[in-house]
């Protein structure tokens, strides 16, 4: 029963599956996601923009606090603006590697082979900046904004990977300058920058291991 006149309901989607089908689909999903890696070397080959748009549509279906949906997906198509994004990000990264990063932080980054140079920001066919939207005259106050945007990012990465597209979550810190570079209102704060495209021929990634299930799943 509705408790207020604004509380309007509709039938919940019917998603329950037979157990064998549920296990099959989950195993297929696990196998697919096990091949997802952060790619830093992109092919210059064109990627149809509708693939990115479809992935954003999936991401925008993510749950959010009070259904405020505090996200904006900024697709940076102008080459000059992409160059400005890269220049701003690399300036912050140079400061990070030279002065802000602790020795412990640099130690854990070393196996990944990263440095302050970020060619993927201009090399990848598409550049998408996910913004965290805060209250303004036109936007309501968000609840659990970071958690909500983080879930949307997870949806986005899964959707891109299922389309065979590579992506990298790049988070230069601080990122506030990107709001100005992109010409976005002050209540939109950059959350992550994602170059998107096909992996370059011969692209390589660091050899990594994942924690086993019994180390990440705790039963109480």
What pLDDT digit, counting tens, does each position of 80-138 carry? Answer: 999 999 999 999 999 999 999 999 999 999 999 999 999 999 999 999 999 999 999 99
What pLDDT digit, counting tens, does each position of 32-58 carry? Answer: 999 999 999 999 999 999 999 999 999
Q: What number is the average pLDDT over the span 72-79?
A: 96
Which H or E run contains 127? strand 126-133
Q: What is the pTM of this model?
A: 0.93
Q: Are 80 and 86 in contact (CB under 8 A)?
A: no
Taking domain 39-199, whether its CATH number is 3.40.1370.10 is answered by no
Q: What number is the average pLDDT over the span 191-205?
A: 96
The token pair at 220 is: 């109480």
Contacts 24+ apart (CB under 8 A), 189-192: 189/131, 189/132, 189/133, 189/134, 190/129, 190/130, 190/131, 190/132, 191/71, 191/130, 191/131, 191/132, 191/146, 191/149, 191/150, 191/153, 192/129, 192/130, 192/153
What pLDDT digit, counting tens, does each position of 127-178 carry? Answer: 999 999 999 999 999 999 999 999 999 999 999 999 999 999 999 777 888 9
Give the start-to-end residue ranges of the domains of the chain. Answer: 39-199
């Amino acid at each position: 029963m509705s408790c207020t006149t604004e509380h309007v309901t509709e039938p919940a989607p019917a998603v329950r599956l037979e157990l064998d089908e549920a296990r099959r689909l989950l195993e297929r999903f696990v196998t697919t996601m096990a091949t997802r890696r952060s790619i830093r070397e992109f092919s210059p080959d064109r990627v149809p923009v509708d693939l990115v748009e479809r992935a954003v549509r999936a991401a925008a279906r993510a749950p959010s606090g009070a259904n405020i949906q505090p996200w904006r997906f900024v697709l940076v198509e102008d080459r000059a603006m992409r160059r400005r994004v890269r220049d701003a990000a690399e300036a912050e990264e140079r400061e990070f590697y030279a002065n802000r990063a602790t020795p412990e932080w640099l130690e854990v980054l070393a196996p990944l082979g990263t440095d302050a140079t970020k060619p993927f920001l201009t090399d990848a066919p598409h550049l998408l900046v996910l913004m965290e939207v805060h209250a303004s005259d036109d936007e309501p106050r968000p609840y659990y904004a970071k958690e909500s945007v983080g879930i949307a990012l997870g949806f986005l990465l899964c959707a891109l990977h299922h389309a065979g597209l590579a992506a990298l979550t790049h988070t230069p810190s601080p990122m506030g300058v990107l709001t100005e570079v992109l010409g976005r209102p002050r209540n939109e704060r950059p959350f992550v920058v994602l170059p998107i495209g096909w992996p370059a021929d011969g692209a390589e990634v660091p050899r990594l291991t994942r924690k086993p299930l019994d180390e990440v799943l705790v039963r109480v």
